[in-house]
């Protein structure tokens, strides 16, 4: 894993041999971004297979289920994590053969999940890039690029694809408090791709929209409810509200594995609340900015109602409202 806590100052790769350490890396955001933590959890489960001393398939399955529960607890909102664990466990359940072969099988499946992710991102990015026009200024929230996925990216993947197609675009990068995924990670990625950008503070986009400086808003998703409500990095809802008020399209880009078909509405999505220290430890001029005894709430995600989302950008194509109906149609293609 690229240690994303250290970027852009340091580029360091960490290796893990135990699923418990993978879970901790997910929790502490060494790795982050919904598809990336999904793939990491799949590899975590494969590691759990090799860690287990079990000699029978049944005993191994028991250890794998325990590891799956542990990994799922690392971060609750992004459904890709639970989706990957479920897919691995289902494959383990249905596997016919000895325990050692099952271990290998899980390792191969984790690789398959990772490879698929890259392919899916590229496909959805091609669909999304068709929505981007030459000269567009695009507000992007959080980090949804190669770092947040196995490679390429979702919302940022769309931007990257449009750029590679030769479209002249410019990105307004929401800095994305408190972990600053935009200012640190998205800006770092855009530098690599040679895409022009400006970092903006999280509250700026409404003003820029009113000034006519923004043509599109694109963000990712951590979990999408069956009715089309989108949970994503905190601040996405306010961004979508401002876009709606200004008649600017707001797109959410994600793989279909981010849709939680079992959850009817967005308000049922579990929202991670992280420790207050992430907000309170902010420093300016080398000094903590908040009073020593200050308290804070630190919700990592919010939910944007489906009515504020202009379209979903997925590997099955661009899906317009009503999402439930149109997703069904897209799935048969
Ligand atoms: O807390 P993070 O950094 O894991 O949150 C990530 C996001 O909210 C992304 O927008 C989302 O996972 C989509 S990444 C392709």
- In this prediction, residue 328 carries a pLDDT of 85
What pLDDT, in 10s, does the model give residues 22-63? 999 999 999 999 999 999 999 999 999 999 999 999 999 999
What pLDDT, in 10s, does the model give residues 160-199? 999 999 999 999 999 999 999 999 999 999 999 999 999 9
HSE-up (13 A, CA, CB side) for residue 286 = 0
pTM attached to this predicted model:
0.96
Three-state SS for 233-275 is ECCHHHHHHHHHHCCCCEEEECCHHHEECCCCCHHHCCCCECC
Give catalytic status of residue 222 as yes or no. Answer: yes
Nearest ligand 1 atom to the CA of 149 is: 15
What pLDDT, in 10s, does the model give residues 152-165? 999 999 999 999 99
Domains in the chain (CATH in brackets) are 19-122 (1.20.120.420), 127-331 (3.40.50.10470)
- In this prediction, residue 332 carries a pLDDT of 81
58-78: b or e for each residue (b if 16 or more CB lie within 10 Å)? eebbebbbebbebbbebbbbb
Is the pLDDT at 217 greater than 80? The verdict is yes
- In this prediction, residue 323 carries a pLDDT of 94
What pLDDT, in 10s, does the model give residues 105-127? 999 999 999 999 999 999 999 99
38 CB under 6 A from ligand 1?
A: no
Which ranges in the chain belong to alpha helices (H)?
19-27, 34-51, 57-72, 79-94, 99-129, 155-164, 187-193, 205-210, 236-245, 277-280, 323-331
Is the pLDDT at 333 greater than 90? The verdict is no
150 CB under 6 A from ligand 1?
A: no
232 CB under 6 A from ligand 1?
A: yes
Three-state SS for 169-224 is CEEEEECCCCCCHHHHHHHHHHHHHCCCEEEECCCCHHHHHHCCCCCEEEECCCEE
148 CB under 6 A from ligand 1?
A: yes
Task: Choose, from 136, 222, 229, 260, the residue flagged as catalytic.
Answer: 222
């Amino acid at each position: 894993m690229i240690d994303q806590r250290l970027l852009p100052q340091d580029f360091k790769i960490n290796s893990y041999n135990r699923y418990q350490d993978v879970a901790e890396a997910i929790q502490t955001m060494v790795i982050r971004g919904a598809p990336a933590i999904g793939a990491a959890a799949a590899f975590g489960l494969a590691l759990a297979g090799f860690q287990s001393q079990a000699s029978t398939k049944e005993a191994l399955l028991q250890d794998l289920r325990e590891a799956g529960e542990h990994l799922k607890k690392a971060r609750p909102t992004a459904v890709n994590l639970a989706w990957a664990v479920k897919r691995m466990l289902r494959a383990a359940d249905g596997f016919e053969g000895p325990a050692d072969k099952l271990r290998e099988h899980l390792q191969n499946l984790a690789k398959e999940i990772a490879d698929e992710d890259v392919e899916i991102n590229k496909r959805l990015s091609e669909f999304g890039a068709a929505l981007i026009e030459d000269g567009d200024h695009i507000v992007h929230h959080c980090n949804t690029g190669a770092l947040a996925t196995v490679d390429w990216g979702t919302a940022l993947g769309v931007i990257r694809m449009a750029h590679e197609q030769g479209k002249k675009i410019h990105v307004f990068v929401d800095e994305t408090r408190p972990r600053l995924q935009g200012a640190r990670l998205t800006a770092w990625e855009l530098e690599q791709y040679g895409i022009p950008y400006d970092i903006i503070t999280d509250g700026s986009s409404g003003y820029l929209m009113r000034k006519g400086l923004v043509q599109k808003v694109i963000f990712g998703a951590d979990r999408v409810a069956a009715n089309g409500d989108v949970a994503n990095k905190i601040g996405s809802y306010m961004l979508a509200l401002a876009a709606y008020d200004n008649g600017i399209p707001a797109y959410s880009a994600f793989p279909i594995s981010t849709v939680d078909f079992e959850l009817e509405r967005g308000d049922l999505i579990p929202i991670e609340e992280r420790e207050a220290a992430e907000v309170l430890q902010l420093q300016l001029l080398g000094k903590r900015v908040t009073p020593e005894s200050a308290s804070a709430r630190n919700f990592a995600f919010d939910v944007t109602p489906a009515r504020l989302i202009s379209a979903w950008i997925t590997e099955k194509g661009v899906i317009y409202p009503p999402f439930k109906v149109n997703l069904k149609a897209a799935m048969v293609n």
